[in-house]
C-alpha cells in the first residue's frame, strides 16, 4: 500500500487536534503546521477536505481555529484517509468487486478484496484518541512487533 503525503499529513493533523481535544479551544492551523512539519498551504487544503467530510469544524477570526467535529475515539485512521484520498483500496479507480476478471486472472479479484479487508482490519480499528494517547490496540501492536513487518521488500 502506498500512503500518500496527503494522507500521512492528514492523520498527523487529526492526531494533533485529538491531543488538544480536552482544551475545548480551537487549535490554530499554524500550530499544527509548525508542530507537525506540514506546509501551511497543504495543511489548509487537507483541513478543508476534513471539514467537507464532517470530521473537522473551524471558526474564523482571532479566536478561531480547528476542532474535531466528533470525539476522537469515534474517528478512525480509515475515516481520515478516506476523507483526503478516497477508498482505502481501489483497482484503477474502481471498487475491487466491480472490476471484471476473466480466465486465469479471475482469482485476482479475491486477492484485492482480501487486501482491502486487511487494510480495514487495522485502519478502522485505530482511533485518533488511541493514537493521541499512544495506546494502540493490542492486535495492532502485535502486528507491528513482528520483525517481518519492518522488512522492506
Residue 24's pLDDT band, with cuts at 50, 70 and 90, is: confident
Residue 152's pLDDT band, with cuts at 50, 70 and 90, is: very high
Residue 62's pLDDT band, with cuts at 50, 70 and 90, is: confident
| Rounded-to-integer distance, Cα 35 and Cα 61, Å | 21
Backbone phi and psi for residue 40, each to the nearest 5 degrees, phi listed first: -55, -45
- The answer on pLDDT for 66 being more than 90 is yes
Question: Looking at residue 75, what is its pLDDT?
Answer: 98
- The answer on pLDDT for 125 being more than 90 is yes
What the block records as the C-alpha cell of 3 is 500512503
Amino acid at each position: 500500500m502506498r500512503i500518500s503525503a496527503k494522507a500521512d499529513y492528514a492523520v498527523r493533523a487529526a492526531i494533533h487536534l485529538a491531543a488538544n481535544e480536552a482544551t475545548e479551544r480551537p487549535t490554530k492551523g499554524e500550530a499544527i503546521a509548525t508542530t507537525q512539519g506540514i506546509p501551511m498551504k497543504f495543511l489548509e487544503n487537507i483541513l478543508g477536505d476534513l471539514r467537507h467530510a464532517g470530521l473537522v469544524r473551524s471558526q474564523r477570526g482571532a479566536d478561531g481555529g480547528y476542532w474535531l467535529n466528533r470525539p476522537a475515539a469515534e474517528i478512525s485512521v480509515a475515516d481520515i484517509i478516506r476523507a483526503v484520498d478516497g477508498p482505502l483500496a481501489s483497482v484503477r479507480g474502481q471498487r475491487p468487486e466491480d472490476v471484471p476478471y476473466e480466465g486465469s486472472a479471475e482469482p485476482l479479484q479475491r486477492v484485492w478484496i482480501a487486501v482491502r479487508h486487511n487494510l480495514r482490519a487495522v485502519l478502522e480499528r485505530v482511533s485518533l484518541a488511541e493514537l493521541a494517547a499512544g495506546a494502540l490496540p493490542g492486535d495492532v501492536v502485535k502486528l507491528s512487533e513482528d520483525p517481518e513487518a519492518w522488512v522492506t521488500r
